[in-house]
Structure 1
Amino acid sequence: MIKRLLILTLVIFTSTSCVSSKLYKELEGKYSNLKNDYDTLNADSESVLSDKNALQNQFDQLQSEYDATVLERNQLQQDVTALQKKYDALNDSYTALEQNSSKAIADNVQKNRELLAQLDAKETALAAENNRLLKLEADMQERSQRIAELEALIASKDQAMRDLKDAISNALTAFEGKGLTVEQRDGKVYVSMENKLLFKSGSWAIGSDGRTAIEQLGTVLADNPDIAVLIEGHTDNDPFSSGGQIANNWDLSTKRATAIVQILNENEAINPESLTAAGRGEFAPIATNETNEGKARNRRIEVVLTPKLDEISKLLNND
């Protein structure tokens, strides 16, 4: 546009050569001013164009960054949406779990209370059992002591009976092989004397050898006052038929046992309270009654010597 003004001014100048110098100078001054303005505007235009290009580059860069940011924003939005869905699902699961947990906790609390009640009951029962066990242990210790005392007493009685058997065997040695035996069994001493040593058939009168044997037995018994003496009369199974004072074998066996007691009672050192007579008749045989030898063995007097168990009875009664 400035160029056009200059050209127009030049044309006017050439066409009006007759213009005054004053006007020419004015026009020349205006031209100079216009040219300066043109140069200034041209420089400004180039600067503006440079700024515009720089701004365009910045704009393009910002546009690229914007587009990238939009893409990143969209991706983040998708991620946020996906995470929100996961969060909602987890929140729903947590809510359900919390509800279930509350019920489970309540159930567990109730179960714990029941278990604690059972535990208290068990502890109470255990304490009672411990007390009972302590009492039982004390009772067992006491009973163990009594058992030891009983065993000592029994051992002492057994030894006394062995000594008694030996003493009787020694006292009656002269009658061995004559129908007299001495043995110990079941804590007792048994002195067995066949009738051939003591009585004639059908009689309860004791012969001289028999009396001697009974008196020697009495001497040993007198030295052992703590012995209970049971005299049993026995017969074979032949019916008693002599009549008179004897009714039957039972009667005969009783009279023979009583005759032995009478001789023992003559020894003042023997306490009569320790003597007992009994008749067993033919009802306690030790051999067959089918032979003469068996019948001879069944016709006998048995003296059963038993230790008195007063001390043992006292220990037992203390229980």
Structure 2
Amino acid sequence: MKHTFLGLAVLLLLSSLTSCVVLSPKKYKALLARQDSLNMGLSESQLKGGNLESTIKKLRKDTADLNKELSKLQAKYTEIDGNYAKLRSNSSTEINKLSGDLKAREQRLKEVEEVLRKRDAATNQLKEKLQSALLGFTQSGLSVDIKNGKVYVSLMDKLLFPSGSIVIDDKGKQALKELAKVLKQQPEINIAVEGHTDSQKIKNLGQIKDNWDLSVLRSTSVVRYLTEVENVESVRMTATGKGEFQPLADNSNADSRSKNRRIEIVLSPKLDELYDLIKQ
């Protein structure tokens, strides 16, 4: 670029010299002005060329940097794409597994619900049988109820025992005889006999020291009668004494205390099938 402008200046000068041997002052000044203009143009061109070279160098560096960044991004994308593919594969497997587990649990839930439905149906049927068999004793303080999936046969002490006694009287034996007929037809039923008393302290009952003793001895008297006389399977029976600590009334008067003195025979269906389902 520099040599081009210089050659042009010399050419113009020679042209001027050859055309006129003697230059006029006006032409000479014009020639000088022309030369200054060319020199200025040359300087500007050189400056612009330098700026362009710097710009080109910077652009090349930026391009190289961008290529490096692009390579990094492409590598990152490839890594993410691979991870996503693995995740999709794993997620699909996990979803299938969870779906299978959910179906299995839903099936187990249906089975548990069916067992509970059968239990409730059997419990209601047992209650109806007992109410029918023991109908003649309801006026003497016998009741049959369902609580928490179990059948409760409650017999007030006056139906079974003389006052302060642990020996079952004839009316009580008759009630237990009718009860035993139903129980022997229900071999899948577990039988718990609970003795309950009021809060009055024991007085002059010989070997019976307190309400704990009285409640336990009365419950074992009932169990012995059902197993030894009426031949209900002993393996199905348990006897417990609750003393005065699970009252039905507040023991504030004779009537409420009478309600608390009772034998409760708790009948519950065997739930082995249900337990097996829950354990799975």
- Give the shorter-chain TM-score range: 0.7 to 0.9
TM-score scaled by length of structure 2 = 0.77
Determine what percentage of the aligned residue pairs are the same residue.
35
> 2:66 maps to what in 1?
104
**Distance (whole Å) between structure 1 residues aligned to residue 56 and residue 230 of structure 2:** 109
Matches within 5 A, 1:24-103: 93-103=55-65
Matched position secondary structure for 1:286 = coil
The structural deviation recorded for 1:94 is: 4.9
Alignment root-mean-square deviation, CA: 2.5
Where does residue 230 of structure 2 map in the other structure?
267
For 1:31-63, what per-residue CA distance to the aligned partner results, in whole angstroms no more than 9, with x for missing partners? xxxxxxxxxxxxxxxxxxxxxxxxxxxxxxxxx
The 8 Å contact of residues 239 and 249 in structure 1, kept in 2 or not, is answered as: yes
Change (3 A) 1:94 1:163: farther
Deviations 1:127-178 (A, max 9, x none): 3333233222212211211111111111001100000001101111111232
Provide closer, same or farther for how the CA distance between residues 279 and 91 of structure 1 changes in structure 2, counting only shifts above 3 A. same
Is contact 1:202–1:242 with CA below 8 Å preserved after alignment? no
- For residues 1-319 of structure 1, the aligned pairs below 5 Å read 93-265=55-227, 266-268=229-231, 270-317=232-279, 319=280
Tell me the secondary structure at the aligned position of residue 225 of structure 2: helix
Q: Radius of gyration: which is bigger?
A: 1
Q: Report if aligned partners of 1:205, 1:259 keep a CA contact under 8 Å in 2.
A: yes
Q: Which runs of 5+ in 2 are unaligned?
A: 1-42
Quick one: which amino acid aligns to residue 194 of structure 1?
M
One-letter amino acid matched to 1:219: K
Determine helix, strand or coil for the equivalent of 1:250.
helix
Greater RCO, CA 8 A, separation 6+: 2
Q: Could you tell me whether the CA contact under 8 Å between 2:164 and 2:205 is conserved in 1?
A: no
- Kindly tell me: are residues 158 and 217 of structure 1, through their superposed partners in 2, closer, same or farther at Cα, counting changes over 3 Å? same
Q: Which deviates more, 104-113 or 306-315?
A: 104-113
Q: What's the secondary structure of 2:139's corresponding residue?
A: coil
Task: Using the TM superposition, give the Cα deviation of residue 209 of structure 1 relative to its aligned residue in structure 2, in angstroms.
Answer: 1.6
2:149–2:268 contact (8 Å) kept in structure 1: yes
Deviation at 1:202, TM superposition (A): 1.3
Instruction: State whether residues 184 and 190 of structure 1, in contact with CA within 8 Å, keep that contact through their aligned partners in structure 2.
Output: yes
Tell me the alpha carbon deviations over residues 173-206 of structure 1, each in whole angstroms, 9 at most, x when there is no partner. Answer: 1112321111112111111111111112211111
**Paired residues, number:** 240
Match of 2:167, SS state, is: coil
Cα distance in 1 for partners of 2:137, 2:278 equals 40
Amino acid at match of 2:100: A
Deviation of 1:88 after TM superposition, in Å, equals: 7.7
- Of 116-125 and 138-147, the range deviating more from structure 2: 116-125
Gaps in structure 1 of 5+ consecutive residues = 1-80
CA deviations over 1:204-230 (Å, ceiling 9, x no partner)? 111222111111111111111100010
82 and 236 in structure 1: CA distance in 2 versus 1, 3 angstrom threshold = same
1:284 partner letter = Q
SS in 2 for 1:289: coil
Q: Specify the code of the residue in structure 1 equivalent to 2:230.
A: N
Per-residue CA shift, 1:95-134, capped at 9, x if unaligned? 4233213212212321332343234234324433332332
Query: Residue 87 and residue 144 in structure 1: after superposition, are their counterparts in 2 closer, same or farther (change >3 A)?
Result: farther
State whether residues 192 and 238 of structure 2, in contact with CA within 8 Å, keep that contact through their aligned partners in structure 1. Answer: yes
